[in-house]
Amino acid sequence: MSAGRGPSRRHDVRDLALADEGVRRIEWADRQMPVLAAIRDRFARERPLRGRRISACLHVTAETANLMRTLYAGGADVVLCASNPLSTQDDVAAALAARYEVPTYAIRGELDDSFYAHIDAAVDHRPQLTLDDGADVIGVLHTHRREQLGDVIAATEQTATGVIRLRAMERDGVLGFPVIAVNEAQTKHLFDNRYGTGQSTLDGVIRATDMLIAGKRVVVAGYGWCGKGVAQRARGMGARVIVCEVDPLRALEAALEGLEVLPMERAAPIGDIFCTATGDRDVIRREHLEQMKDGTLLANSGHSNVEIDLPGLRAISVGAAPAREHVEGFRLADGRRLYLLSDGRLVNLESAEGQPPGVMDMTFANQALSVEYALQHPGSLERRVHGVPAAIDAEIARLKLASMGIEIDRLSELQAQYLDSWDTRR
- Nearer Cβ to ligand ADE (74/357): 357
Residue type, 47: R
- Nearer Cβ to ligand ADE (63/328): 63
Half-sphere exposure of 85 (CA within 13 A, CB side): 13
| Listed residue (402, 406, 355) closest to 37, CA to CA | 402
Q: Least Å distance between CB 175 and ligand ADE?
A: 24
Q: Least Å distance between CB 83 and ligand ADE?
A: 8
- Nearer Cβ to ligand ADE (337/400): 400
Decide: helix, strand or coil at residue 378: coil
Pair 14, 94: CB distance under 8 Å: yes
Instruction: Spell out the alpha helix ranges (H) of 283-382.
Output: 286-289, 310-316, 347-350, 357-376
Q: Least Å distance between CB 286 and ligand ADE?
A: 29
Pair 241, 259: CB distance under 8 Å: yes
Q: How far is Cα 141 from Cα 152, in angstroms, rounded to an integer? A: 9
- Nearer Cβ to ligand ADE (101/353): 353
- Nearer Cβ to ligand ADE (110/132): 132
Residue type, 182: V
Distances (CA, A) of 262 to 98, 113, 219, 294, 383: 51, 40, 9, 20, 41
Half-sphere exposure of 164 (CA within 13 A, CB side): 8
Q: Could you write out the DSSP letters of every residue in 212-235?
A: --TT-EEEEE--SHHHHHHHHHHH
Binding site for ligand ADE (CB under 6 A): 58-59, 61, 63-64, 349, 354-355, 360
Q: How far is Cα 176 from Cα 161, in angstroms, rounded to an integer? A: 19
Q: Least Å distance between CB 119 and ligand ADE?
A: 16
Q: Least Å distance between CB 329 and ligand ADE?
A: 27
Q: How far is Cα 66 from Cα 265, in angstroms, rounded to an integer? A: 43
| Sequence-distant (≥ 6) Cβ neighbours of residue 265 within 8 angstroms | 287, 288, 291
Report residue 181: phi and psi, to 5°.
-85, 90
Decide: helix, strand or coil at residue 380: coil
- Nearer Cβ to ligand ADE (62/242): 62
- Nearer Cβ to ligand ADE (59/194): 59
- Nearer Cβ to ligand ADE (217/228): 228
* Angle ∠(136,125,87) on CA atoms, nearest 5: 40
Look up residue 388 and give its DSSP letter: P
- Nearer Cβ to ligand ADE (290/343): 343
Decide: helix, strand or coil at residue 391: helix
Q: How far is Cα 263 from Cα 405, in angstroms, rounded to an integer? A: 44
| Nearest residue to ligand ADE, by Cβ distance, number only | 354
- Nearer Cβ to ligand ADE (163/349): 349
